[in-house]
Amino acid sequence: MSSVGSWLDTIAEFPLPALLGVAALFGVAESGLGVGMFVPGETVVLVLAASIQGNEALVALFVIAGVSNSVGDHIGYLLGYRYGERLRDTALVHRMGVEKWDRATVALRKYGAAAVFLTRVVPVVRTITPAAAGVAKVRYRFFLPASLGGAYTWAAVYVTAGALAGASIGRVEKALGDAGLIVLAVMVVAVVVAVMWRRRRRAESALAPGRGELAHGDRHGQCDEHAAGE
């Protein structure tokens, strides 16, 4: 058996409730706590779906992933509803990027509660949009179906992709052999690391435009003063 197949089998040996608990934790973090910027929840769901055996277990993973992702939305929505515009000035939002908060706000003004569904595939913005919906006092009867629709679309895509990948491991083993699978695994890990690095860089540079504009404004002001002095 290949190292990749052995690794997936090792994960599958854990109790199903524990695996579903991990899926729930990362599902909430992905959409509600900002952790998804650094540890993509979809990666965890993909790996679990590839590891889990049996249709019933996959259905359970789909249900848990969707519910937890919507729970993450609700955390953001309730925080936004409770604290209002003050959230924009918090350290967390500044860390994630004020311009992304503004993008989420614009999307809400344009699409209403549907923005919670439509931004599901937009990194970082999908984490902020539910909180912005709370700030905007979007009616819950509109927010709930948008959140569930987006969460279960997200879960369906990654559970299905993971299940198909897991089912294909045996075929890939025969076609490539152990050495080929190791190379493939390294490539996959490299892609995941690159995605995580990109997300982290985006988060860390979120405030750079503001600083750049401030610096530009300072230089502009100095030029005006110099011109006035002349």
Instruction: Judge whether residue 78 has pLDDT over 70.
Output: yes
pLDDT band at 214 (very low <50, low <70, confident <90, very high): very low
What pLDDT does 217 receive?
46
Instruction: Judge whether residue 178 has pLDDT over 70.
Output: no
**pLDDT tens digits along 117-161:** 988 877 777 788 888 898 888 999 999 999 999 999 989 999 998
Alpha carbon 75 to its chain's center: 15
- Enter the tokens of residue 14: 């854990």
Tokens 């959409």, located at residue: 31
Instruction: Judge whether residue 181 has pLDDT over 70.
Output: no
Residue with the bigger pLDDT between 95 and 188: it is 95
Buried-exposed string 92-120: b where 16+ CB fall within 10 A, e elsewhere = ebeebbbebbebbbebbeeebbbbbbbbb
Tell me how many domains the chain contains.
Answer: 1
Q: What is the rounded distance in angstroms from the CA atom of residue 158 to the CA atom of residue 170? A: 20
Looking at every residue in the chain, the average pLDDT score rounds to 75
What pLDDT does 76 receive?
87
Q: Whole-prediction pTM value?
A: 0.67
Q: What is the rounded distance in angstroms from the CA atom of residue 22 to the CA atom of residue 180? A: 30
What pLDDT does 126 receive?
79
Alpha carbon 178 to its chain's center: 32
Q: What is the rounded distance in angstroms from the CA atom of residue 51 to the CA atom of residue 5? A: 9
**pLDDT tens digits along 38-60:** 667 788 888 898 888 888 999 99
**pLDDT tens digits along 100-121:** 788 888 888 888 888 889 888 7
Instruction: Calculate mean pLDDT across residues 7-15.
Output: 76
Q: Which domain holds residue 97?
A: 3-229
Q: What is the rounded distance in angstroms from the CA atom of residue 223 to the CA atom of residue 125? A: 37
SS (H, E, C) 172-216: HHHHHHHHHHHHHHHHHHHHHHHHHHHHHHHHHCCCHHHHHHHHH
Report yes or no: 23 and 14 within 8 Å, Cβ to Cβ: no
What pLDDT does 110 receive?
82
- Percent over 70 (pLDDT), the chain: 65
